[in-house]
């Protein structure tokens, strides 16, 4: 998941389209410095955002630390009630948040952006119902041993630009439910909607429980190395995850890292071409391909390769790509210019190596925006950058195979291991092969489907730890064994 490496310079003639500010210790913070946020539909700045410095980061950590003891002491039922009110408040402002989200991220406001905010609301409510369990490990004449879980302290959340609201909710809600306090740093590419969400949430949380700072990546490095931060939860690129791990080693921070994915889907010879193509299309190109667990490599058996590729190309060519405020748009632009250049380079390299684009393949310069069409490319193989690297955009390479075991070997050869899938009319055989995939999540006749009650995390270089459900909640809690005398 690439993230912008530098922040756009402030534009003196811009005013915030939404009066959003950072929140530290329950107070809205006004800073003298700002940076510009770019509209990916035009490639031009449309708003200024408050810019935090080292002082604001220090203040945010201190506020979270000061609020921790009181928040951790509250019964979990009371903490959950606060979160239910946060969900209600987001529900009341969902159109405001979705509009801002669409403007800075690029996804269509009427569908994907509103869907993301709705998903965040539902996720908040589902997570608020989780309860840590006391496990009895021993209870006999020699004594009783219980396994309990306690909050860790201050959690720093660093979020990416592809799902600014939903991923922030994935981070902060279990952290807060578990009794921790949070400092949230959104991507500098999409900070505004996240800051607005934090403002809304703070109307229903005690001061200091949830704090926000916005600015470039160096703020994340400051948080990762901060002695007052007990845990880092980060979603983003593998190289940045490694850097966070290095900085966090100073005080042995707990880490949850959801990193890059180059998910492989393997379509066996007996798969229904039409039904499979429709589902694979949705699981490849959702959010214009900017999804960690999207299908990014499609291995198709030789006997149905051409038919599958042609059908996917038809679906891609028919898709409407446009600005987020256009009701006709089904897919938006790529979020930033750096990612557009990366995709263009991959496409050009694939063409030079003999790849054929059946759909798309060249960026579309609509009004200066970061548009790349939904693209399907064939005659590519492992060893080419377009297959080996995570595209994180609307390009789907299709690789021909003859033997299913060999396809699994190729899928596993990549250093990343977030997700993978097998597609077949023989569910038993598909299940056998799915179990051989070296990834954190595997699906049969599906891909990238997730839910708040099922753990999700990466294998190999795709991350550490897990999110969602009780397993995810426990990532924000310290395990403690309690030894009691017999009969206690």
Q: Are residues 276 and 145 in the same domain?
A: no
Assigned domain for 135 exists: yes
Residues 191 and 210 placed together within one structural domain of the fold: yes
Q: Is the pLDDT of residue 5 over 50?
A: no
Q: Both 165 and 245 in a single domain? A: yes
Which range marks the domain in which residue 386 is found?
263-451
- How many CB atoms within 10 Å of residue 26? 16
Cβ count within 10 A of residue 93 = 14
- Domain identity same for 186 and 144: yes
* 215 and 349 fall within a common domain: no
Asked whether residue 7 is assigned to any structural domain, the reply reads: no
Residue 186 has pLDDT above 80, yes or no: yes
Does residue 13 lie within any of the structural domains?
no
Clarify whether residues 252 and 268 are in a common domain.
no
In a domain, 395, yes or no: yes
Q: What is the CATH number of the domain that holds 225?
A: 3.40.605.10
Flag the least confident range among 18-27, 41-50, 120-129, 468-477: 18-27
pLDDT of the residue at 3: 39
pLDDT at 2: 39
In tens, the pLDDT along 56-75 reads 999 999 999 999 999 999 99
Least reliable range by pLDDT among 10-14, 156-160, 481-485: 10-14
421 and 384: one domain? yes
What CATH number should be reported for the domain holding residue 333? 3.40.309.10
Tokens in use for 5? 């490496």
Which pTM was predicted? 0.95
Cβ distance 1 to 235 under 8 Å? yes
Q: Are residues 307 and 227 in the same domain?
A: no
Domain tally, the chain: 2
**Does residue 433 share a domain with residue 470?**
no
Mean pLDDT of 77-82: 98
Position 100 in a domain: yes
Whether 19 shows a pLDDT value over 80: the answer reads no
More confident residue, 31 or 126: 126
Tell whether 488 is covered by a domain: no
User: What confidence tens digit (pLDDT) does each residue in 302-316 have?
Assistant: 999 999 999 999 999
The answer to whether 26 touches 181, Cβ cutoff 8 Å, is no
Active site residues: 258, 292
Give domain status of residue 156, yes or no: yes
Query: Do 237 and 119 fall within a single domain?
Result: yes
Domain membership of residue 5 (yes or no) is no
467 and 381 both lie in a single domain? no
pLDDT tens readout for residues 454-463: 999 999 999 9
420 shares a domain with 396: yes
Q: Is the dihedral of CA 102, 103, 105, 107 positive or negative?
A: positive
Mean pLDDT score of the chain = 95
What does the pLDDT look like over 131-149, one tens digit per residue?
999 999 999 999 999 999 9
Q: Is the pLDDT of residue 32 over 80?
A: yes
Q: What is the pLDDT of residues 247-288, one digit of tens each?
A: 999 899 999 999 999 999 999 999 999 999 999 999 999 999
């Amino acid at each position: 998941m690439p993230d912008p490496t530098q922040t756009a310079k402030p534009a003196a003639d811009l005013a915030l389209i939404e009066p959003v500010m950072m929140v530290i210790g329950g107070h809205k913070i006004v800073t003298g410095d700002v940076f510009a946020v770019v509209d990916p539909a035009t490639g031009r700045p449309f708003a200024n955002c408050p810019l935090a410095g080292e002082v604001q980061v220090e203040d945010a950590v201190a506020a979270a630390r000061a609020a921790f003891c009181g928040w951790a002491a509250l019964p979990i039922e009371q903490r959950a009630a606060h979160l239910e009110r946060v969900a209600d408040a987001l529900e009341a402002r969902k159109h405001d948040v979705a509009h801002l989200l669409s403007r800075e991220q690029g996804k269509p406001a009427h569908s994907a952006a509103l869907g993301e905010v709705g998903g965040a609301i539902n996720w908040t409510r589902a997570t608020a119902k989780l309860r840590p369990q006391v496990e009895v490990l021993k209870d006999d004449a020699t004594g009783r041993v219980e396994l309990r879980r306690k909050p860790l302290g201050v959690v720093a959340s660093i979020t990416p630009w592809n799902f600014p609201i939903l991923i922030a909710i994935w981070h902060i809600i279990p952290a807060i439910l578990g009794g921790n306090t949070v400092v949230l740093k959104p991507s500098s590419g999409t900070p505004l909607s996240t800051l607005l969400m934090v403002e809304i949430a703070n109307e229903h949380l005690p001061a200091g429980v949830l704090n926000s700072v916005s600015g470039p990546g160096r703020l994340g490095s400051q948080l990762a190395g901060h002695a007052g931060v007990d845990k880092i939860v980060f979603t983003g690129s593998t190289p940045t995850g490694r850097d966070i791990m290095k900085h966090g080693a100073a005080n042995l921070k707990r880490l949850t890292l959801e990193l890059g994915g180059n998910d492989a889907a393997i379509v066996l010879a007996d798969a229904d071409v039409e039904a499979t193509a429709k589902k694979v299309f949705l699981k490849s190109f959702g959010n214009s391909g900017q999804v960690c667990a999207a299908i990014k490599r499609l291995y198709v058996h030789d006997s149905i390769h051409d038919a599958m590729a042609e059908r996917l190309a038809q679906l891609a060519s028919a898709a409407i790509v446009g600005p987020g405020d256009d009701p006709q748009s089904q897919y938006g632009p790529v979020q930033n210019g750096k990612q557009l250049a990366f995709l263009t380079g991959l496409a050009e390299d694939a063409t030079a190596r003999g790849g054929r684009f059946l759909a798309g393949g060249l960026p579309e310069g609509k009004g200066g925006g970061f548009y790349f069409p939904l693209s399907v490319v064939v005659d590519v193989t492992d060893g080419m950058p377009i297959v080996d690297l995570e595209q994180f955009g609307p390009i789907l390479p299709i690789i021909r195979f003859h033997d299913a075991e060999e396809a699994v070997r190729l899928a596993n050869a990549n250093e990343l291991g977030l997700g993978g899938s097998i597609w077949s009319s023989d569910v038993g055989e598909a299940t056998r092969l799915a179990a051989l995939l070296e990834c954190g999540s595997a699906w049969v006749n599906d891909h990238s489907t997730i839910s708040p009650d099922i753990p999700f995390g990466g294998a190999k270089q795709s991350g550490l730890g897990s999110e969602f459900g009780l397993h995810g909640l426990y990532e924000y809690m310290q395990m403690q064994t309690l030894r009691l005398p017999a009969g206690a």
